Every structure is written in C-alpha cells, then in structure tokens.
Amino acid sequence: MNQVLDGIDKVVTAISGVLYMPWVPFLLLAAGLFFTFRSKFMQVRLLGESFRVVSEKPKTKGGISSFGALMVSTASRVGTGNIVGVSTAICMGGYGAVFWMWMTAILGGATSFIESTLAQVYKRKNPDGTYFGGPSYYMETALKKRWLGVIFAVIIILTYAVGYNMLASYNLQSSFSAFSFYHEGSTPLVIGIILALLFAVCVMGGAKRLTKITGALVPIMGIFYVAVAVVVVVGNASIVPEVFRNIFASAFDFPAIFGGFTGSCMMEGIKRGLYSNEAGMGSAPNAAATADVSHPAKQGLVQMLAVFIDTLLICSATAMMLITSGVEGVSGVLDGIPYVQAAVQANVGTWGIHFITISIFAFAFSSLIGNYYYTESNLLFLKNNKVLLFVFRCTCLLAIFLGAQADFEVVWNLADVTMGFMAIVNIAAILLLGNVAIHALQDYEKQKKQGKDPVFHAKDIGLDDTEEWK
C-alpha cells in the first residue's frame, strides 16, 4: 500500500511542479491585475457598498439571502487552510509568504467579483423557486461550450469531494495528536467514522439546511478564533513592527525567490492564499448563484468581501499569531497543526491546545459542508439522477473517512493539482466573459448614482441569453 501511495505522490508532485512553476500563480495574478484595472479598482472603491448589500433580505419569501450565500462560500473558504495552510506556507516559504497571501487576496477580490457576478447573470431556477448555477452553467450558456462546463464540473467534484474533503478530514484528526489518548491506529479510524456520520446528517437536509448550519457556525468560529489571535499578538506587541519588516523584506528577496522558485515565499504564499480564499478558482460562484438578489453585482460585491474576510482577516490572524508567538516552525519537524498548537500554548497556556482543536473541528466541518454544496450543484449539471446523487453522497462519505487515515503529503499535493486545473479552466472562461460582469457593474453604479436600488434587466446591457433576468 505504501509503495502505491509513494508512486501516486511522485506523479502528483511532478504535475504540481509543472502547474505551479509558474503558470497557475502568474495566471491568477495577471487575471487579478487585469480585472482590478478593468473595474477601476472596484475592490477598494466599493468596499463600503459590499458591507451594505450583505445585509439585504432576499427578493422573494423563502429565497436565500446574500448573507446566506456568503456564509456557504465562507464556510468553504474559511476552513483548515486558514490554520494549517498558513502554518505550512510560513514553514516552507518563510515570513514573506504572508505578503504574497495578502496580494493574492487583494487582487483576487476583483476576480471573485467577476466570476460571482457571472454566476448570478446566468443562474437558473429550481422548481421550488430557489436558484442554482456556477461556472459550468455560464460556460454552457454564455460560451456555448457545454463540453467545457462538463470538464470543469468533473474537476471541481474531484477537487472538493475528494481532495479538499480528504484534507479537511486529515487536518481534523491530526489536531488530536497533541492529546495523550491519541493512538495512530484507532484514533483516525474513530474520528473518520464520527465525521462521516455527522456530515451525512447535514447533507441529507438539502440546501436550506446547509445555509442555516453555516450561517450559525461560520460567524461564531471566526470571531472566537480572531479574538484568541489578537490576545497572542497583543501579548507580543513589542515585536510586531519587526515582524512586518521581516515579512516585507522576505517578500522581496528576489534572488532567494527565483533561486528556488517552487519552494519560495512567493510560490507558497500564492498557493496557500489560493487554497484559502479560492478567488478565481470557480468555487464561490456556485454559492453566489443561489442568492436571491435584485442585481447580479450585489452578490459579486458580497463574494468580494468574503475573500477579504478569509485572507486579510482570518489568515492574517493566524500568521501574526504564529510569527509573534516566539515559537519557530520547521518544515517536516514542527509544522501544520502542531506548530499552531505549540504557538498558542506558549502564549496562553495548555487550554490553547484545546481551543485550536475545537477551532479545527469547526473550520473543518464547515468546509466539508461548503465543499459538498459546490460539488452537488456540478453533479446535477452532469446528470440529474437520484440514484447517481445517492452514490455520490456515499462516495463523499468514503472520502471523508479515508482522509482521516491518509498521508499528509499525498493529500496536500493532490489538492494542489486539482485546484490548479480548476483555476486554469475558470480563469480562461471569465477572461472571455469578463465584459458581461463589467457592464453589469457599470449598470449597477449608474442606477446607484440615480438614487435607485439597482434592479437588473439583461437587455439593458445587451444580453438576451439569460433565463432569470428578462
């Protein structure tokens, strides 16, 4: 078995090396820059507006609100990547990786607006009045390329139902390794079974149950986690200026970056930033499409805000907590969750280990729910069949169970590869369709200047191929 896993890991690592040296990171940064300039820095200009629209109620009774859609996407974004991903990035890429995570988020805000607005423009309606959609649907409708939508649907299912869910499950069970009761054989097995059963109870309730669960879980866990991080940072406030100097100095150490590009701070920061905030990957649009709003740009603004919540707030909280803690992370020795647990314990005492374990559980479980939300929508795009859906749900449960038993490197590398292919397909599509989202933004701002609550009509921007905006 170990030989098989080693063989798989070698193949996956080789593919990852090609994708990330440097094609995927540069493609994401280039797209972010393009949409930032094309939208006239909308992620800065309209940040206040994004906070305003997030509280709006749905257009129709029983519809999913902007906030509800935000919580589903944030549930997937705000996951173990915010803890483990940041820890891994710092251990492998150094302090400079934090800066490149920030850049991925700032530029990614514009990209997230574009893809989420497109998902709203080309969304479709269920018989019960709720909405669905995402990249597969705008590839089929706007680009007239169902085959491309099929490819994307398959990739996102592999990424989230297999790669990301296995990773979340692994990260959760590994958080228990700090406790005396942990047994390498039995503990992952037990945790895998419990997690799979809890997940099954949630997903059988459908989309509305998922939004209710994430709507309650995500804000609570985010607030408490950031609060503890602030306590750690404040306790070490005297070294904060030096920390920022080290972050910026390492970020622009170009000889070091390009001398070992695959493991550099730039590469690690972009990879883990992408894994965390998902901007440009095409995942969040699946949640964005479900919102019942009067104008597509409203949900685009809301999903832009989600990127900032994820990376600039929660990931930064983790990074500052680790760097100011006085505990040094070492790749392969003290990294991942043990590094975070050691850092928190050194500053707040033994209860910090328990807190991180609880946080990991909340983050991991919310990720599982958000991830499933994405995959089910894309499975229905491929084929709407109850038997297939049941088999798929069983497969998701199996992936969660196996993830708790898996090898760290294999799971991380697999997630990186599928994530890279997702980003390539989606970025290509939104670069071709970006003008639609830009015109929707211009229409939104025009109506706002007129003192109106913007209402969208597709014909106002020259579209006649939408189902819900006639």
Maximum average pLDDT range among 6-10, 150-154, 349-353, 401-405: 150-154
Peptide bond into 22 cis (omega under 30): yes
Does residue 469 belong to any structural domain of this protein? no
CA dihedral 439, 445, 448, 453 (to 10 degrees): 40
Does residue 221 belong to any structural domain of this protein? yes
What is the H or E stretch that residue 340 is in? helix 336-348
pLDDT at 121: 94
- Cα–Cα distance, 323 to 347 (Å, whole number): 12
- Point out which residues pair with 334 in neighbouring strands: 330
Maximum average pLDDT range among 28-42, 175-189, 281-295, 456-470: 28-42
Average pLDDT, the chain: 80
Instruction: State what percent of residues in the chain have pLDDT above 70.
Output: 83
- Cα–Cα distance, 373 to 182 (Å, whole number): 32
Residue 260: pLDDT over 80? no
Residue 371: pLDDT over 70? yes
Does residue 467 belong to any structural domain of this protein? no
- Cα–Cα distance, 123 to 291 (Å, whole number): 10
First to last CA, the chain: 56
- Cα–Cα distance, 300 to 306 (Å, whole number): 10
Residue 259: pLDDT over 50? no
Residue 211: pLDDT over 60? no
Does residue 470 belong to any structural domain of this protein? no
pLDDT at 138: 94
Structural domain range at position 245: 2-461
Residue 447: pLDDT over 90? yes
Tokens of 121: 């423009």
User: Model's pTM, two decimal places?
Assistant: 0.82
pLDDT at 437: 95
Q: How confident is the model at residue 55 (pLDDT cuts 50, 70, 90)?
A: confident
Position of tokens 């070698």? 10
- Point out which residues pair with 205 in neighbouring strands: none
* Lowest-confidence segment of 42-51, 96-105, 368-377, 409-418 by average pLDDT: 409-418
Report pLDDT digits (tens) over 65-93. 777 777 666 666 666 667 777 887 787 77
* Lowest-confidence segment of 5-19, 55-69, 103-117, 420-434 by average pLDDT: 5-19
Number of domains in the chain: 1
pLDDT at 18: 65
Higher pLDDT, 204 or 106: 106
Q: Are 300 and 441 in contact (CB under 8 A)?
A: yes
pLDDT at 438: 96
Q: Which amino acid would we find at residue 348?
A: V
Q: Are 113 and 301 in contact (CB under 8 A)?
A: yes
Tokens of 116: 């989420």
DSSP assignment of 384-421: --HHHHHHHHHHHHHHHHHHTTS-HHHHHHHHHHHHHH
Report pLDDT digits (tens) over 128-186. 778 889 999 999 999 999 999 999 999 998 888 887 788 778 777 777 776 777 777 78
Residue 208: pLDDT over 70? no
- Cα–Cα distance, 376 to 355 (Å, whole number): 32
CA torsion through residues 307, 463, 432, 46, sign: negative
pLDDT at 441: 96
Higher pLDDT, 172 or 207: 172
SS3 state of residue 302 = helix
pLDDT at 296: 93
DSSP state of 292: -
Maximum average pLDDT range among 318-322, 419-423, 442-446: 442-446
Q: How confident is the model at residue 297 (pLDDT cuts 50, 70, 90)?
A: very high
Please name which of 176, 221, 236, 419 lies closest in space to residue 314, comparing C-alpha atoms. 221
Residue 39: pLDDT over 80? yes
Give residues with Cβ within 8 angstroms of 208, minimum separation 6: 64, 130
Q: Calculate mean pLDDT across residues 36-47.
A: 92
What CATH number should be reported for the domain holding residue 271?
1.20.1740
Maximum average pLDDT range among 78-82, 237-241, 456-460, 464-468: 456-460
Instruction: State what percent of residues in the chain have pLDDT above 90.
Output: 19
Does residue 397 belong to any structural domain of this protein? yes
Report pLDDT digits (tens) over 323-365. 888 777 666 666 667 777 788 887 777 777 777 777 777 777 7
Please name which of 63, 100, 111, 162 lies closest in space to residue 396, comparing C-alpha atoms. 162
DSSP assignment of 112-136: HHHHHHHHHHT-EE-TTS-EE--HH
- Cα–Cα distance, 116 to 260 (Å, whole number): 35
Half-sphere exposure of 206 (CA within 13 A, CB side): 7
Residue 317: pLDDT over 90? no
pLDDT at 205: 57
pLDDT at 450: 93
Does residue 338 belong to any structural domain of this protein? yes
- Cα–Cα distance, 78 to 313 (Å, whole number): 10
Please name which of 242, 263, 262, 264 lies closest in space to residue 253, comparing C-alpha atoms. 264
Tokens of 168: 């979340």
pLDDT at 209: 55
